[in-house]
Amino acid sequence: MRVGVLVLVVGLGACGPGGASQQGFLDTPLVTVASAAGALQLAVYSNPQPPVRGNVAIRYRVTDSMSQPVDGLTLEVVPWMPAMGHSTSVVPTVSAVGSGVYDLSNVYLFMAGQWQLRTTITGGAADSATPELAVQ
Amino acid sequence: MTLHSAPAEVGRNPWRFDASPGTLRTGYPLTMQSCPPVRLIVVATLGFLGCMGPAGGAVSGAADTHCIAADGGAIAQDTSAAACHVADANAPMPEYGETRYNAQSADDDCKYDVQLTVTPVRQAESVTLVVKVTARSDGAPVTGATAHAEIFLNDTHPAPNAGTSTVEAPAGTYTIGPVKFDASGRWTARFHFFESCADDSEESPHGHVGFFLDVP
């Protein structure tokens, strides 16, 4: 009986939508954007994905033109609603995980609609990127 | 919490508390079989008492005077639907006023009077915020403002997700909830009105005001 339950649980875990990582991010990015200078690619994941209004976890996977992960960057992210002309009062926290992965916490998208993640990149590259998210 | 029936020797003290935390021992010969209504009442009462801890809410403080002119007159900024348009992509960040004490204040730009009613505030419990918005120019209810609440403890701690939504009823009164708080402290609830209108002209209906909320 216990073996049966274990098999069922493992089986269900393998059937997640799109396959989720241990941190709850899907394997497929929500959107991928090029940096303003074109030197970097940012694959953007959200949890939940697609994002719903509230506190959303965001993951960037940053690669160079050779598709190699880029570490050592410093990212400053400002969530912005372009149609409304406002940001949020909560500042996202960025953590470098390694292998080109940067996790953003406290991304407080408190209204439904189109949000931008205005991202300034320093440290090894002076660049910027503006992924857009449709928040439900 | 576990409810026990007690042996006969405690009958002179029918409602004494057992030394074990979370355990109430009664002197009455209560069993589920013999007296389920009494037991239900006791459990319900204990459950009710469990919700009676200290509650927070709006924070008392100095009355808001930012919309009172030097001569003592009221400042009331008119708004116009004609002044509502989508923000420019390079619009600057809106300038927010100070977070307000008490449960009533004008919005930051003196367009609206905002009255806040809050259900008892406790950590991890669902809280409902009701904001009544009237125009300072004529006192009329402000309808269709699509009010949103931005709730945070500090600039790195937003309120946890709780499936919050807004309902307007009656006209000009916005019920926002559920809202949950996951830490004690002095929170800010900033309300945004007519967010789809850019905040770039004095007559734009766009408005915002923040209130302090204490969470015990």
pLDDT tens digits, one per residue of B179-202 = 999 999 999 999 999 988 888 889
Q: What pLDDT sits at residue B173?
A: 98
Distances, alpha carbon B8 to alpha carbons A70, A72, B72, in Å: 75, 73, 73
| Helix (H) / strand (E) containing B44 | helix B36-50
Tens of pLDDT along A29-65? 999 999 999 999 999 999 999 999 999 999 999 999 9
Residue A86 has pLDDT above 70, yes or no: yes
What proportion of chain A, given as a percentage, has pLDDT over 90?
A: 71
* Contact (Cβ atoms closer than 8 angstroms) between residue B134 and residue B112: yes
- The minimum CA-CA distance between B21 and chain A, rounded to whole Å, is 35
Closest CA to A126 of A79, A78, A74, A77: A74
B170's tokens: 């009656």
* Domain edges within chain A: 20-135
Question: Are the beta carbons of A54 and B164 separated by less than 8 Å?
Answer: yes
Residue in the structure block whose two tokens are 């598709």: A67
B interface residues, A as partner, C-beta within 8 Å: 86-89, 91-94, 96, 148-152, 155-162, 164, 188, 190, 192, 195-196, 198-200
Integer-rounded Cα radius of gyration of chain A: 17
Closest CA to B194 of A41, A84, A63, A129: A84
Report ipTM (2 d.p.).
Answer: 0.77
Closest CA to B186 of B159, B162, B154, B155: B154
Residue A7 has pLDDT above 70, yes or no: no
Residue B22 has pLDDT above 90, yes or no: no
Range name among A42-46, A101-105, B1-5, B162-166 with the lowest pLDDT average: B1-5
Q: What pLDDT sits at residue A26?
A: 94
Question: Are the beta carbons of A89 and B156 separated by less than 8 Å?
Answer: no
Tens of pLDDT along B71-98? 999 999 999 999 998 877 777 777 899 9
| Pairing assessment for the beta strands B23-26 and B2-5 based on DSSP bridges | parallel
Q: What pLDDT sits at residue B199?
A: 82
Residue in the structure block whose two tokens are 């709850």: A24
Residue A21 phi/psi, 5° resolution? -75, 175
pTM of this prediction? 0.77
- The minimum CA-CA distance between B33 and chain A, rounded to whole Å, is 34
Count the neighbouring beta carbons within 10 Å of the beta carbon of residue A96. 17
What proportion of chain A, given as a percentage, has pLDDT over 70?
A: 83
CA angle A88, A92, A98 (to 5 degrees): 160
Range name among A9-13, B59-63, B128-132 with the lowest pLDDT average: A9-13
Q: What pLDDT sits at residue B2?
A: 36
| Residues of chain A neighbouring B190 (CB-CB closer than 8 A) | 89
Q: What pLDDT sits at residue A87?
A: 84
| Pairing assessment for the beta strands B127-135 and B112-118 based on DSSP bridges | antiparallel
Closest CA to B54 of B104, B121, B6: B121
Q: What pLDDT sits at residue B196?
A: 85
Classify residue A99 as left (phi > 0), alpha (psi -120 to 50) or beta. left
Out of 3.20.20.120, 2.60.40.10, 3.20.20.70, 3.40.600.10, which CATH number does the structure's domain A20-135 have?
A: 2.60.40.10
Give the DSSP letter of residue A36.
T
Q: Rounded to whole angstroms, how far apart are CA atoms A49 and A29? A: 9
Q: What pLDDT sits at residue B13?
A: 39
* Contact (Cβ atoms closer than 8 angstroms) between residue A113 and residue A83: yes
Q: Rounded to whole angstroms, how far apart are CA atoms B214 and B216? A: 6
Question: Are the beta carbons of A83 and B148 separated by less than 8 Å?
Answer: no
Domains of chain B: 2-50 (no CATH), 57-215 (2.60.40.10)
Tens of pLDDT along A108-136? 999 999 999 999 999 987 999 999 999 98
Query: A47, A78, A88, A90: best mutation site toward chain B, by most B Cβ within 10 Å?
Result: A90
Considering only the beta carbons, identify the residue of A52, A85, A93 that sits closest to B198: A85
* Contact (Cβ atoms closer than 8 angstroms) between residue B158 and residue B151: yes
Question: Are the beta carbons of B158 and A90 separated by less than 8 Å?
Answer: yes
* Contact (Cβ atoms closer than 8 angstroms) between residue A73 and residue A96: yes
- Give residue A41's identity as a one-letter amino acid code: Q
Q: Rounded to whole angstroms, how far apart are CA atoms A125 and B40? A: 67
Q: What pLDDT sits at residue B99?
A: 97
